[in-house]
Amino acid sequence: MPQEDCKPVVLLIDDSIIVHRLLQARLKHENFVLNTSLSGKDALEKVIAKPPATILLDLEMPEMDGFEVLRALKDNPVTLNIPIIVLSGRDGSEDKVTAFDLGANDYVTKPCDLAELRARLRAALRLDRLLKLLADRAEVDGLTGLANRAAFDKRWSEKVSEFHRYKTPLSLAMVDADHFKRINDTYGHPAGDEVLQRLAQVLQQQSRAADIVCRYGGEEFAIILPNTGPQEATLLAERIRTEIGKIVWPRHPESAVTVSIGLAGANADGPVISPEQWLELSDRNLYLAKNQGRNRVMTSDMSSQSRLAKAG
């Protein structure tokens, strides 16, 4: 394997070819590969296709400025955790605050001290390595403290196997925050993070000790409900939906947050179904809840469907 392939990639997003040439010359001996992009649109395509370890982002660009690029990167679960250093000629505190509120990790003012920039890049790359290491080894979501997607996949397969073996009830609820992107766009990512953390708290508080609450991804959560049929699971889901609707949010008290919930469950006489098929049914009900106006629970009782199928 070529040595270059082992190095982390830093993507420089700046509309100035002079800046590209300067930084490529000054950073060529660093232990990373510096790739470049001249526009926000081109950069987003490159980042989504192959996420870099760190991004250097200019604010003042034509067509799509740095703030728009930053917002798009932090709104995408694929690119959300990439460390971003804003590299800008703007020195005003308002621009810095906006950049940090949108999710930037650092802010360097042009013309920058190259030694300082190298140090900040090394710190960002260390952060990227640490995040990837933690993601690989941990089963806990860093923002909410809930079990993460890897933990969900493992526990869900186990519970479906137990359902088939022991013939005990089981339900799965998928919970998604309504209009979450609007919260991020209007009030900034700290407000969005606050919403996700508070939703996680409510889900844990309203669930029972045996229930397994996970952050599935983005603003979507999953609740595995062992020994729980669809009727009982629906009551729990409605309680969660109601409690979340009552919350007054400190950063945006005038804007309530609601959730839509898709649920699929079965009693002891449920069908033989794979974990993926069960999840797909819960997701489909979540989509229906969104499509029918949001802030509602949609449930499939697979045990009754199984009885009908056996009856012919």
For the chain, give every domain's residue range: 3-133, 149-311
Give the whole-angstrom CA distance, residue 183 versus residue 252: 9
**pLDDT beyond 90 at 14:** yes
Catalytic machinery residues: 219
CATH number, span 3-133: 3.40.50.2300
- Residue 37 has a pLDDT of 95
Q: Which amino acid is at 201?
A: Q
pLDDT tens, residue by residue, 29-51: 899 999 999 999 999 999 988 89
Categorize the per-residue pLDDT at 300 as very low, low, confident or very high, splitting at 50, 70 and 90.
very high
What's the whole-number mean pLDDT along residues 247-257? 93
**Whole-model pTM?**
0.62
- Residue 2 has a pLDDT of 45
**pLDDT beyond 70 at 270:** yes
Please choose, from the candidates 29, 36, 49, the residue with its C-alpha nearest in 3D space to the C-alpha of residue 9. 36
Q: How far from 233 is each of 31, 161, 261, 265, CA to CA, in Å?
A: 53, 19, 11, 8
The residue behind tokens 């397969």 is 157
What's the whole-number mean pLDDT along residues 296-302? 96
- The encoded tokens of residue 30 equal 């660093």
CATH number, span 149-311: 3.30.70.270
